């Protein structure tokens, strides 16, 4: 019994010592400031569609210079230029390295953690249907969403643009006299005129009509052009796989694309090529309005002739949504930092700056014609519209339509 009392007394004494030490430590900590070990910059990597990459990159540089922070840590935004179709292909093949469903994100090996250091935090594609297609593939494979359509992290449009006709003024005048309003059928008839421009009423030295269309393997605009052509061919905004695999439509489309100079070798920057090489690239084509506006002055300076811009009956809109990856491959801090950059891009000042890049702001409070240096004001005499005439918007294609058109293009045009 005496031994038990001794043991009990020792235990009580030890406990008292521990409690006293804890009280002393707490009192000491009250006198010392709380020190948090810096975690370093929060890295936000954003895949960005080519048409808006210059504008987003400029905004990111300004954002980084302003030293935006989250939970005390600086945010550093890195912009990675990548065409929407290229990014979609990489997501489909999981080239970015999304974790498999059976992998515990809290117990990654050093090699796995290293591999995720370059994982994209967000994606700004050309159009929202691209992340929707990517999400559908991941949901089937992983059993979960990776991109959202609602909630705080939902995809939000940053700016808008649309596909429009850009044609050298002299050529446009000839086509208008011969056919009236310019549309895909007019372009087809011009493309198939066996006598070339003289048959259409143009000059002999112009040769044959040459169409400018982006390479659909390098630029979403090229694929959208074929979809828009199908819309006018069938006179409706929704296109199915059966429509694009119809032999009669394919023959018509083949004749149309036969007017391109060398579409298989074209770069992703078609409007820029148009400005650099002029008439040798083409007489006109369906290109992104913002790309045309950015190159209007360069084309006029280099070739001494302006373009005219016309809007098709079935318009393809591009909304360039900020799409944040919500999987465990990126941290909560990275996701929220991407959200902070998104808010910066949607701020009135940055939205107004987008207009100078020929882009239409996502905010309805910003007018494209409010500033005198706006390209929508500068080129209004050439057909640029502050408000697009009433047209029908082409509906987003599904994966089967995209694949069918790309396969047809590879077999019949790219050669």
213 neighbors 286 (Cβ within 8 angstroms): yes
User: What mean pLDDT comes out for the span 117-130?
Assistant: 95
Give the whole-angstrom CA distance, residue 2 versus residue 5. 5
176 neighbors 182 (Cβ within 8 angstroms): yes
Residue keyed to tokens 């009392």: 5
Q: Which helix (H) or strand (E) holds 321?
A: strand 321-324
Return all residues near 76 (Cβ < 8 A) that are at least 6 apart.
41, 42, 43, 44, 64
The per-residue pLDDT for 376 is 96
Phi, psi of 207 (to 5 degrees): 70, -135
Joined together, the tokens standing for residue 56 give 């987003």
Give the CB-side neighbour count of residue 44, counting CA atoms within 13 A. Answer: 32
- Per DSSP, helices labelled H in 278-317 are 289-303
183 neighbors 177 (Cβ within 8 angstroms): no
91 neighbors 141 (Cβ within 8 angstroms): no
Beta partners for residue 122, in sequence order: 46, 324
> In this predicted model, which residue has the larger pLDDT, 268 or 34?
268
- DSSP assigned state of 98: P
User: What mean pLDDT comes out for the span 22-35?
Assistant: 42
The per-residue pLDDT for 33 is 34
User: What mean pLDDT comes out for the span 229-251?
Assistant: 95
The structure's pTM equals 0.86
Query: For 51-55, 108-112, 246-250, which range has the lowest pLDDT when averaged over its residues?
Result: 108-112
Give the whole-angstrom CA distance, residue 1 versus residue 258. 106
Give the whole-angstrom CA distance, residue 290 versus residue 158. 14
The per-residue pLDDT for 12 is 56
Q: Domains for the chain: give ranges and CATH numbers.
A: 42-154+320-361 (3.40.190.10), 162-317+380-414 (3.40.190.10)
User: What mean pLDDT comes out for the span 10-27?
Assistant: 50
Q: What is the DSSP string of 105-150?
A: TTS--HHHHHHGGG--SEEE-SSTHHHHHHHHHHHHHHSS-SSBSS
By percentage, how much of the chain surpasses pLDDT 90?
Answer: 67
CA 29 to chain centre: 51
Residue keyed to tokens 């840590």: 73
Does the structure show a pLDDT above 50 at 27?
Answer: no
Give the whole-angstrom CA distance, residue 175 versus residue 179. 6
Burial of 52-90, coded b for 16+ CB within 10 Å and e otherwise, reads bbebbbebbeebbeeebebeeeebbbebeebbbbbbbee
The per-residue pLDDT for 364 is 87
367, burial (CB in 10 Å: exposed 0-12, middle 13-18, buried 19+): middle
321 neighbors 300 (Cβ within 8 angstroms): no
The per-residue pLDDT for 260 is 82
Query: For 7-11, 77-81, 90-94, 232-236, which range has the lowest pLDDT when averaged over its residues?
Result: 7-11
Give the whole-angstrom CA distance, residue 155 versus residue 124. 9
Query: For 98-112, 172-186, 230-244, which range has the lowest pLDDT when averaged over its residues?
Result: 98-112
Phi, psi of 163 (to 5 degrees): -80, 130
CA 282 to chain centre: 26
Interval 334-356: pLDDT, tens:
999 999 999 999 999 999 999 99
């Amino acid at each position: 019994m005496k031994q038990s009392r001794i043991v009990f007394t020792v235990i009580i004494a030890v406990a008292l010592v521990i409690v006293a030490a804890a009280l002393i430590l707490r009192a000491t900590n009250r006198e010392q400031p709380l020190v948090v070990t810096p975690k370093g910059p929060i890295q936000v990597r954003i895949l960005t569609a080519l048409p808006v990459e210059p504008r987003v990159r400029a905004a990111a540089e300004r954002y980084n210079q302003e030293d935006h922070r989250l939970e005390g840590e600086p945010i550093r935004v890195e912009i990675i230029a990548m065409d929407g179709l290229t990014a979609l292909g990489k997501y489909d093949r999981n080239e970015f390295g999304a974790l498999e469903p059976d992998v515990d994100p809290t117990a990654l090996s050093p090699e796995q953690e290293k591999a995720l250091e370059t994982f994209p935090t967000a994606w700004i594609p050309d159009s929202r249907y691209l992340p929707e297609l990517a999400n559908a593939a991941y949901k089937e494979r992983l059993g979960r969403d990776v991109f959202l359509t609602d909630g705080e992290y939902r995809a939000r449009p940053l700016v808008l643009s649309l596909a429009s006709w850009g044609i050298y003024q002299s050529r446009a005048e000839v086509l208008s006299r011969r056919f009236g309003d310019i549309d895909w059928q007019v372009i087809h008839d011009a493309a198939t005129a066996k006598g070339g421009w003289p048959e259409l009423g143009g000059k002999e030295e112009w040769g044959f009509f040459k169409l400018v269309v982006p390479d659909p393997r390098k630029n979403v605009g090229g694929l959208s052009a074929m979809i828009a052509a199908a819309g006018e061919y069938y006179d409706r905004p929704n296109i199915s796989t059966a429509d694009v695999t119809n032999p009669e439509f394919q023959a018509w489309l083949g004749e149309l694309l036969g007017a391109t100079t060398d579409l298989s070798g074209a770069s992703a920057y078609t409007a820029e090529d148009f400005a650099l090489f002029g008439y040798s690239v083409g007489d006109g084509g369906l290109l992104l309005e913002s790309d045309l506006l950015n190159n209007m002055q360069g084309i006029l300076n280099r070739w001494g002739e302006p373009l005219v811009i016309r809007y098709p009956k079935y318009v393809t809109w591009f909304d360039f949504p900020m799409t944040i990856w919500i999987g465990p491959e990126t941290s909560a801090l990275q996701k929220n930092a991407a959200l902070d950059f998104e808010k910066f891009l949607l701020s009135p000042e940055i939205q107004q700056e987008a207009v100078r890049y020929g882009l239409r702001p996502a905010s309805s409070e910003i007018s494209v014609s409010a500033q005198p240096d706006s390209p929508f004001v500068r080129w209004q005499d050439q057909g640029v519209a502050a408000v697009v005439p009433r047209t029908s918007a082409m509906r987003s294609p599904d994966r089967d339509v995209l694949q069918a058109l790309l396969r047809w293009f590879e077999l019949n045009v790219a050669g």
